């Protein structure tokens, strides 16, 4: 009898561990989430919350749904083929198609790195009164050290820690304010377009899907040896990847929502429109106290540093893929991609007089390149030559192309409005 109970306890323990086993696959999605909560998103979310209260929370919900579908699709490519998006483009499309797309994607990664480094620099200015250029150098230097001295696993754990700090910071901030939860819930699920909100709506939507994140996800999804070759293993890994993507994107949704909630419950209530991140910090201090302002700046610093690291990884993946190679920090092509992205971005920052304007310009560059990356991705994942039996069904392909069209249209309109 004792042996029977021991066997039962052992089986229960194994089932318990098997249930927890899925959490071992959390990680790649969180690296992508960092791009979803970067300084550019912060600026858009503060504009949404301070200008329109809870009314635009639905935009975060809608954009997160689109993001989950596109990121899951590109992760699907990495699992099934064992290739990142850049490698697949090089291998399966003519050079006259792949080279221009990948070259512009690398330029977009420079623009992304510029925004992320600027975000870290702005945070250092808030915390320590360090000049923006000096802060940019420190942010980029830290990212270089993290990328060149750590293995992927260590980098992944560091990013998870940074995301945790960001999340906990906003939990702390939300406890300091009074939130009208019934209005917030309505805002999350009820689309509305208050007068004068269209530019902010497009900014929030347009800043969510970023070219470098699509390349990054297809690369890092292979870090857990997802690509096993046999159908049973691939299907199992696709299930785990979906959980990772859903969990991670929901974390991003929660943090972006928290930023809007914070802005709505403080600045909107006071009739203050926030147009700069430095302004947000200085206004939080008299409303919520010095601790809240410091916590805000610390969270921004974590967002800037972590997104700079992932931007560098994406650039390394793109450049290595142009030579039909996977990303690896010991690989010379991966190293060159990182150096080009962070180095050129840092050089450009030295000539930027207005950091906030620099953030806007960087987002416009991304909006120009994004259509090429998204449509290339959907074409590859819809091709039976590339994906075999795992190619997108006709229905899935239609949905993906529709989402690609919506994202592209929003980014193009945002670009035209900003330029004109």
Lowest mean pLDDT among 162-171, 199-208, 292-301: 199-208
Lowest pLDDT segment from 3-7, 163-167, 232-236? 3-7
What are the residue ranges spanned by the domains of the chain? Answer: 43-419
Q: Tell me if 54 sits within 8 A of 199, measured CB to CB.
A: no
Which pLDDT belongs to residue 417?
67
**Choice among 256-260, 308-312, 348-352 with the minimum mean pLDDT:** 348-352
Q: Which of 1.20.1740.10, 1.20.1560.10, 1.10.10.10, 1.20.1070.10 is the CATH number of 43-419?
A: 1.20.1740.10
CA distances from 11 to 21, 24, 400 (A): 15, 20, 42
Query: Per-residue pLDDT tens for 352-367?
Result: 766 666 666 666 677 6
Higher pLDDT, 182 or 40: 182
CA distance 170 to 168: 5
- Per-position DSSP letters for 23-92, written without gaps between them: GGG-SHHHHHHHHHTSHHHHHHHHHHHHHHTTTTHHHHHHHHHHHHHHHHHHHHHHHHHS--HHHHHHHH
Nearest CA-CA partner of 219 in 90, 154, 315: 315
C-beta neighbour count of 302 within 10 angstroms: 24
DSSP state of 324: T
Residue 229 confidence (pLDDT): 59
Lowest mean pLDDT of 84-93, 262-271, 272-281, name the range. Answer: 272-281
> Tell me: the pLDDT tens digits for 299-339?
889 888 888 999 999 999 999 999 999 898 888 999 999 99
Q: Determine the pLDDT at residue 8.
A: 39
State pTM to two decimals. Answer: 0.84
Mean of the per-residue pLDDT values of the chain:
82
Looking at the chain, the whole-number percentage of residues with pLDDT higher than 70 is: 85
Residue 7 carries which DSSP code?
H
Does residue 303 contact residue 39 with C-beta atoms inside 8 Å?
Answer: yes
Q: Note the pLDDT of residue 225.
A: 55
pLDDT value at position 418? 62
* Interval 232-240 mean pLDDT: 75
Of residues 100 and 201, the one with the higher pLDDT is 100
Is the pLDDT reported for residue 403 higher than 50?
yes
pLDDT tens digits along 7-23: 434 444 444 334 455 55
């Amino acid at each position: 009898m004792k042996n029977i109970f021991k066997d039962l306890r052992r089986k229960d323990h194994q089932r318990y561990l098997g249930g927890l086993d899925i959490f071992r696959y959390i990680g790649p999605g969180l690296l992508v989430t960092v791009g979803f909560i970067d300084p550019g998103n912060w600026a858009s979310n503060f504009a949404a919350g301070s200008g329109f209260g809870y009314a635009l929370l639905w935009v975060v919900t809608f954009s997160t749904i689109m993001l989950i579908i596109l990121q899951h699709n590109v992760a699907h490519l990495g699992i099934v083929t064992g290739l990142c998006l850049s490698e697949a483009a090089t291998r399966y499309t003519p050079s006259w198609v792949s080279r221009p797309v990948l070259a512009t994607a690398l330029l977009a990664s420079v623009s992304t790195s510029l925004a992320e480094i600027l975000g870290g620099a702005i945070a250092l200015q808030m915390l320590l009164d360090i000049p923006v250029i000096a802060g940019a150098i420190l942010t980029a230097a830290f990212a270089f050290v993290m990328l060149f001295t750590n293995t992927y696993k260590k980098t992944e754990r560091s990013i998870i820690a940074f995301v945790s700090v960001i999340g906990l910071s906003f939990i702390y901030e939300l406890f300091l304010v009074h939130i009208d939860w019934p209005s917030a819930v309505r805002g999350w699920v009820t689309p509305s377009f208050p007068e004068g909100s269209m530019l902010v709506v497009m900014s929030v939507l347009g800043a969510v899907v970023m070219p470098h994140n699509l390349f990054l996800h297809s690369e890092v999804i292979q870090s857990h040896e997802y690509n096993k070759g046999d159908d049973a293993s691939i299907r199992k890994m696709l299930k785990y990847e979906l959980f990772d993507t859903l969990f991670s994107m929901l974390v991003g949704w929660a943090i972006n929502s928290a930023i809007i909630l914070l802005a709505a419950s403080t600045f909107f209530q006071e009739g203050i429109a926030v147009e700069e991140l430095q302004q947000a910090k200085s206004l939080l201090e008299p409303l919520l106290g010095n601790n809240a302002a410091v916590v805000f700046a610390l969270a921004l610093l974590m967002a800037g540093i972590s997104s700079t690291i992932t931007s560098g990884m994406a650039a390394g993946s793109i450049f290595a893929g142009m030579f039909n190679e996977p990303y690896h920090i010991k690989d010379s092509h991966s190293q060159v991609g990182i150096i080009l992205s962070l180095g050129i971005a840092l050089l450009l920052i030295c000539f930027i007089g207005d950091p906030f304007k620099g953030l806007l310009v960087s987002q416009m560059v991304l909006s120009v390149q994004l259509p090429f990356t998204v449509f290339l991705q959907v074409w590859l994942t819809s091709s039976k030559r590339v994906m075999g039996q795992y190619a997108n069904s006709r229905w899935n392909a239609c949905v993906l192309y529709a989402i690609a069209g919506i994202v592209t249209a929003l980014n193009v309109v945002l670009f035209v409005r900003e330029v004109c």
